[in-house]
């Protein structure tokens, strides 16, 4: 019984060290993103990754912010198509106010809420020519790829 009690902390340490590092999570997400967006995903070959760095995303570029922004855009479109003024619509005013509040919080934050990583990779383009790209990827705090340049 004493052996089991002594081995238990070692077992916990081993299990907790099995998770992916932030660097590995970022690389895994970048690869997933590329494999779903490249024209010829079978030709993808990773060349190198930079170290990830903390980054502050605009609220609009987070999952929640993007959803809220799309909702506001569709509200504007719906209200405008009905001939009404969206600036007087109570639902729009409330939603826009909430979006602006969150956006201001993100802009005034000194803490990062995302990650940035640069990835060099090769593959074939639409014509079958081999190309090498260097792309910057912006990930949110949950390592979801928000956008790339």
Highest mean pLDDT among 18-32, 72-86, 106-120: 18-32
Same-domain status, 81 and 45: no
Assigned domain for 11 exists:
no
What sign has the CA pseudo-torsion 21, 26, 30, 35?
positive
User: pLDDT per residue over 3-21, tens digit each?
Assistant: 555 555 544 444 444 699 9
User: Exposure string (b/e) for 106-139, b if CB count within 10 Å is 16 or more?
Assistant: beeeeeebbbbbbbebebbeeeeeeeeeeeebbb
pLDDT at residue 147 greater than cutoff 90: no
How crowded is residue 56: how many other Cβ atoms within 10 Å of its Cβ? Answer: 13
Nearest to 105 by CA among 75, 60, 73, 45: 60
118 in Cβ contact with 50 (< 8 Å):
yes
Q: How many helices (H) and strands (E) in the chain?
A: 4, 5
Q: What is the mean predicted confidence (pLDDT) over 48-63?
A: 86
The parent domain of residue 104 ranges over 61-109
Q: Which two tokens stand for residue 62?
A: 């987070």
Does 136 share its domain with 100? Answer: no
Instruction: Dig out the tokens for 87 from the structure.
Output: 């600036």
| In a domain? residue 14 | no
Residues 52 and 69 in one domain: no
Q: Select from 84, 35, 65 the least CA-distant residue to 146.
A: 65
Residue keyed to tokens 């970022």: 26
pLDDT attached to residue 109: 74
Task: Give this prediction's pTM.
Answer: 0.64
When pLDDT is cut at 50, 70 and 90, the band that residue 137 belongs to is very high
What domain count does the chain have? 2
pLDDT in tens, 68-87: 888 888 888 887 777 777 67
Whether the CB-CB separation of 99 and 127 falls below 8 Å is answered with no
């Amino acid at each position: 019984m004493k052996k089991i009690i002594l081995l238990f902390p070692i077992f916990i340490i081993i299990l907790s060290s099995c998770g992916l590092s932030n660097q590995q999570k970022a690389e895994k997400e970048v690869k997933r993103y590329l494999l779903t967006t490249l024209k010829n995903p079978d030709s993808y070959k990773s060349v190198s990754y930079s170290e990830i760095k903390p980054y502050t995303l605009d609220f609009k570029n987070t999952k929640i912010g993007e959803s809220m922004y799309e909702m506001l855009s569709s509200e504007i479109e719906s209200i405008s198509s009905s001939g009404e003024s969206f600036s007087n619509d109570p639902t729009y005013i409330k939603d826009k106010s909430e979006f602006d509040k969150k956006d201001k919080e993100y802009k005034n934050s000194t803490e990062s809420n995302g990650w940035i990583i640069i990835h060099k990779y090769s593959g074939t383009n639409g014509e079958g020519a081999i190309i090498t790209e260097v792309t910057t990827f912006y990930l949110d705090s949950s390592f979801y790829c928000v956008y790339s340049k």
